[in-house]
Chain A
């Protein structure tokens, strides 16, 4: 192991226009405070760090071009035994390119990094693989699993690194659009009522939206539900979806997969409605109602004086999963 020879870990944080990606602070904390911020607006991003940092390097290299970035950053990173990136969209895309250029194994989707053991979430976060590596590695860390200690010291002055992006074939960024105003209510809402695969179809979600509105909440969902087209993709909460931080979170028919709950922030009141009393979402809940979620939704609607619309409660439309047979 090369752990003794040279600095053991560094966090590599892709930055866009001064905005840190989700999980940036946690990744730096997990890396023990050494960070390289790469992208555009890195100085501005460095000033926004809220965790203690031992060293901050910046590479002002513009908009992402991951092939080029990996080639350019590799020499800077070679001394480090572990290169940690957040498993945010940009981190996920850069990490394998670094691993390939540097000929290191990639440990993707870690919930914890230690030099002797790394835990990787698999099967949608239902299980953890505990692995160890013989040599240097590249790791992506799931955002939201760790938490961070607040900063206690002044930040070190960022040290700009001279990096030149080699010519290569990468996609070109045309534009970055701000968050969809259609989801701003969700991201900022203090009350969220969300539905998962335990509801039956688009009809249930139309009713859910109205019931949520009646209690002053925004409607959220899980990715499974968005993938089936029952709600707009902008409505799903989680690592790869919208990050929220409400006071009240009501989950209807949601199992509580890691990628979902890590987008939840720290709600003060959690209610979970599920037929399975032992799923993770129920374990998180202050009030765990073991019952049929569609039934409860309808009962709630009646109590709040909401007429179910014609389409509510309709079963899942045939082929809603869009699934072709795999067994011809």
Chain B
């Protein structure tokens, strides 16, 4: 005999947990199914969460969210084979509520958020994998099948929060354009350092944290790198265009190894003891690769809906997952309340996303990945920037300094960079980020 619920949420990642939290709070019977032994047990990501999205869901979340460090400094490093130029921002007020970002382990964060959903009444079932959709004669989704004995659960609505490459979204036919160019692959190492060494090395005190995003450190493969500080570990990784990686014939672990050997990174990671190595695909994000968001009886949230920004120096996904999950939960309440969970009745979901930061940001940054992952941003500009910086900082006595205009011109010529392209990219950049 099948169990039944109002809402079944597949996947207790940030998207699924947020959806379950919202729906359960409204008194719906929610079953949250997770394949790992506990939420977050198998989930990997870079390491920084921007949790302001929780402000409305869990006021004063910062008092209990399990973080490693609060990000008080964000740096962007532009590098060539041997040189690096870093721009760093320090925000003192990022070290106090409401904070800006935090480094956290997913095992901690996801467990915490799913725990909130369970507190609100959602029934969390772990070590259980959703293996298929239940449908009626019209093709409408009526529940899920799991890998447990008598493991069917019927539900008025299924929310797929099962992450990138969502098997449920695929089965429901929501992915249309399936192309490798929309994916990046992230690989990451976690290196342990004694806390004092880490704080000394990165000049951190208390719970301050640093995050560094890196452009140009990926051996010419479109992508970016990152280095984040946790309490007594650092996360170093790269995000690489899947197509670029394939064409290069290189292996992701070699790219990380090279990044760690770079003269600007090596002293930061020296002596770190490898604690884990992991890899995961990421939807590159942006509006272009987005699937349909609703089917009859089903909604898709988080990475499953490609609501993630992972192009070069951005790595944001958890915030979008929570945002979209919460909106899916709201949509569920409304639809179940009205007794209609057809795709048409669920169309409010997309509207909600459009009106929130989730799709607003995606709309704004549409095309950003093309810019960031383009050849100029990846290799030409880093050379240019580092070259200029080197000239600015090199003392050439007894030769007189040539002056910035001259240096820029020389470096541009050397790198074969056309002014036209700089202006064009500058314009795209301004429109995107401005």
Please determine if A and B sit in direct contact within the complex, based on CB atoms under 8 angstroms apart. Answer: yes
> Would you give the shortest CB distance from B363 to chain A, in whole angstroms?
39
Answer whether residue B127 sits at the interface, using C-beta atoms and an 8 A cutoff.
Answer: yes
User: Interface stretch among A175-183, A294-302, A319-327?
Assistant: A319-327
Q: Contact at A325–B124, with CB atoms within 8 Å?
A: no
Q: Contact at B125–A328, with CB atoms within 8 Å?
A: yes
Answer whether residue B139 sits at the interface, using C-beta atoms and an 8 A cutoff.
Answer: no
Task: Indicate with 1 or 0, residue by residue over B120-147, a CB within 8 angstroms of chain A CB atoms.
Answer: 0000111110000000000000000000
Interface of A is mostly: loop
Residues of B within 8 A of A327 (CB): 37-38, 126-127
Residues of A within 8 A of B128 (CB): 325
Residues of B within 8 A of A324 (CB): 127
A and B contact pairs by CB, cutoff 8 A, 16 listed: A323-B37, A323-B127, A324-B127, A325-B37, A325-B38, A325-B126, A325-B127, A325-B128, A326-B37, A327-B37, A327-B38, A327-B126, A327-B127, A328-B124, A328-B125, A328-B126
Interface residues of A (CB under 8 A from B): 323-328
Which among A324, A325, A326, A328 has the highest number of chain B CB atoms within 10 Å?
A325
Interface residues of B (CB under 8 A from A): 37-38, 124-128
> Would you give the shortest CB distance from A64 to chain B, in whole angstroms?
39
Q: In whole angstroms, what is the CA distance A308 to B127 when docked?
A: 32
Residues of A within 8 A of B124 (CB): 328
> Would you give the shortest CB distance from B328 to chain A, in whole angstroms?
24
Residues of B within 8 A of A325 (CB): 37-38, 126-128
Q: In whole angstroms, what is the CA distance A35 to B151 when docked?
A: 59
Task: Return the chain A residue nearest B127 by Cβ.
Answer: A325
Q: In whole angstroms, what is the CA distance A127 to B308 when docked?
A: 44
Task: Return the chain A residue nearest B124 by Cβ.
Answer: A328
Residues of B within 8 A of A328 (CB): 124-126
Q: In whole angstroms, what is the CA distance A325 to B111 when docked?
A: 14
- Beyond A325-B38, A327-B127: 14 further Cβ-contacts under 8 Å? A323-B37, A323-B127, A324-B127, A325-B37, A325-B126, A325-B127, A325-B128, A326-B37, A327-B37, A327-B38, A327-B126, A328-B124, A328-B125, A328-B126
Residues of A within 8 A of B127 (CB): 323-325, 327
Q: In whole angstroms, what is the CA distance A324 to B127 when docked?
A: 7
> Would you give the shortest CB distance from B100 to chain A, in whole angstroms?
31
Residues of B within 8 A of A326 (CB): 37
Task: Return the chain A residue nearest B41 by Cβ.
Answer: A327
> Would you give the shortest CB distance from B20 to chain A, in whole angstroms?
15
Residues of A within 8 A of B126 (CB): 325, 327-328
Q: In whole angstroms, what is the CA distance A146 to B127 when docked?
A: 43
Q: In whole angstroms, what is the CA distance A283 to B37 when docked?
A: 34
> Would you give the shortest CB distance from A278 to chain B, in whole angstroms?
9
Task: Return the chain A residue nearest B111 by Cβ.
Answer: A327
Q: In whole angstroms, what is the CA distance A328 to B126 when docked?
A: 6
Q: In whole angstroms, what is the CA distance A327 to B127 when docked?
A: 8
Residues of A within 8 A of B38 (CB): 325, 327
The 3 closest A-B pairs by CB, nearest first: A325-B127, A325-B126, A327-B38
Task: Return the chain B residue nearest A327 by Cβ.
Answer: B38
> Would you give the shortest CB distance from A282 to chain B, in whole angstroms?
14
Q: In whole angstroms, what is the CA distance A11 to B126 when docked?
A: 49
Q: In whole angstroms, what is the CA distance A239 to B320 when docked?
A: 53
Q: In whole angstroms, what is the CA distance A328 to B122 when docked?
A: 12
> Would you give the shortest CB distance from B261 to chain A, in whole angstroms?
18
> Would you give the shortest CB distance from B71 to chain A, in whole angstroms?
29
Q: In whole angstroms, what is the CA distance A326 to B124 when docked?
A: 12
Residues of A within 8 A of B37 (CB): 323, 325-327
Which among B125, B127, B128 has the highest number of chain A CB atoms within 10 Å?
B127
Q: In whole angstroms, what is the CA distance A328 to B128 when docked?
A: 10
> Would you give the shortest CB distance from B208 to chain A, in whole angstroms?
31
> Would you give the shortest CB distance from A293 to chain B, in whole angstroms?
15
> Would you give the shortest CB distance from A99 to chain B, in whole angstroms?
36
Q: In whole angstroms, what is the CA distance A323 to B124 when docked?
A: 18
Q: In whole angstroms, what is the CA distance A142 to B128 when docked?
A: 40
Q: In whole angstroms, what is the CA distance A326 to B125 when docked?
A: 10
> Would you give the shortest CB distance from B316 to chain A, in whole angstroms?
28
Q: In whole angstroms, what is the CA distance A195 to B83 when docked?
A: 45
Residues of A within 8 A of B125 (CB): 328
Q: In whole angstroms, what is the CA distance A84 to B166 when docked?
A: 60
Q: In whole angstroms, what is the CA distance A4 to B125 when docked?
A: 60
Q: In whole angstroms, what is the CA distance A328 to B127 when docked?
A: 8
Residues of B within 8 A of A323 (CB): 37, 127
